[in-house]
Amino acid sequence: MPNESGGGGHRAAPVHTDPAEVSVLTALSAVADPVRLQLIRELAGSDDWSRSCGSFDVPVGKAALSHHFSVLRGAGLVEQRDQGPRRVNRLRREEFEARFPGLLDLLLRE
């Protein structure tokens, strides 16, 4: 989990996992959750890097949200970067699709 650490109050940079290195069980566990499904769907409908972590319509607190994003990064689904005080997101649509063909479509079509 990211934590506050010196350097002008910037958090530690988020750690990412390449979708190519994600197991099918890890990917399925990441998407088999209503909150993460909602995050993925909102991200899919947004421009890359346009959404900060606090901008999603999900009924969870900050710590839980941070955990959910960590799981999504670990499954190769989401990339994050810090822009000043905001942590912004993009869905790794092409890379994830290359690793798990059709899975994102399944999540997004209903």
- 14, 19, 31, 73: which one contacts its own copies (CB under 8 A)? 31
Residue 101 touches its own copies, criterion: CB under 8 A:
yes
Q: Token pair 């209503």 is at which residue?
A: 34
Count of other CB atoms within 10 angstroms of residue 109: 6
Q: Token pair 């901008």 is at which residue?
A: 55
List the x/- string, 37-56, binding to its own copies by CB under 8 A: x-------------------
95 half-sphere exposure, CB direction, 13 A CA radius: 17
Residues 64-83 that bind its own copies (CB under 8 A): none
Residue 25 touches its own copies, criterion: CB under 8 A:
yes
Report the C-alpha gap between 46 and 93 in whole angstroms. Answer: 12
Report the C-alpha gap between 39 and 20 in whole angstroms. Answer: 21
- 28, 44, 64, 98: which one contacts its own copies (CB under 8 A)? 28
Residue 59 touches its own copies, criterion: CB under 8 A:
no
Q: Which residues in this chain contact its own copies in the complex, by CB under 8 A?
A: 24-25, 28-29, 31-32, 34, 37, 100-103, 105-107, 110
